Amino acid sequence: MKKLVVSKKYNNKKLDKFLKDNIDNLSNNLLYKTLRKKDIKINGKRISENVTVFESDEILVYIPDNLLESNISLDVVYEDKNILLINKPANIEVTGNQSLTNIVHKKYSNCGFLPMPCHRLDRNTCGLILFAKNNEALTILLDKFKHHEIEKHYLALVYGIPKKKYDKLEAYLFKDSSKSQVYISNIPKKGYSKIITTYNLLEKYPNNTSLLDIEIETGRTHQIRAHLAYIGLPIVGDGKYGINEVNKKMKSKYQKLASCSLKFNFINDSGILNYLNGKEFKICINLNL
């Protein structure tokens, strides 16, 4: 049983939002099954609906602990005393509650420094995530990402065939945080930031899809997904910027986008990480399944 008290932050918010933010590994299926069984009490009253909660509400959730254990194991691609490189599956955030970082912290809970992610991927984008295993490495890597001294490539399965085999796309992106969505413009506008996305066509398929190698010079929220959709090449499986009919037809639950390679191209001295300069890590991912 879990006993929780609603904080001011969640006043007048939905129960599912509060519980998912405050109970690790609570899935939608488990939450709504628990609601149907009336195994949740608010202020002593059993409920069966996703009601609104208020500050100071006392909530009892009757879920066995074993059902809340994460079934995601860490797919470690490379590890040494300074860094940890993990192949992140889709359907998990990098940070926050119920995240990849939570799982990493539990595994490394006895270490003096809890490994920290140096960059991000969208929840439903899979692939390489780099963690620093000490504060000195974290400081160096954050600086290297900021100055584009770490080269990242992505694979994207898109609906449509690009007219050019290679293109360097420039546009402007606006992030609407309230809707968790971004918008693209081909001309500068107030509140919009410049984005640069480069693609190489790797394969063309008979079902009007193609496989692209993507590199971004700017790392804006949803940049790859929104930019490709803007030029008429939406990523297969993308529920936000893609085409729902195509996603259903191709039975794609998550966007077919993966961070597939990472290369260290250090220009300046990198202290304890100098040994990584020139190294490249790749993973094989088949997005055309």
Cβ(274)–Cβ(266) below 8 Å: yes
CA-to-CA distance for 198 and 252, rounded, in angstroms? 24
Q: Annotated catalytic, 238?
A: no
Cβ neighbours, 10 Å, residue 204: 12
Looking up tokens 């509400």 gives 57
Question: Measuring CA to CA, which residue among 198, 275, 273, 266 is closest to residue 231?
Answer: 198
User: What sections of the chain are H helices per DSSP?
Assistant: 15-22, 28-36, 100-107, 135-146, 223-230, 244-249
Question: Which of the following is catalytic: 16, 75, 122, 176?
Answer: 122
Question: Measuring CA to CA, which residue among 87, 84, 72, 145 is closest to residue 261?
Answer: 87
Please, which contacts does 42-45 make with residues 24 or more away whose CB atoms are closer than 8 Å? 42/15
Task: List, by residue number, the catalytic residues.
Answer: 122
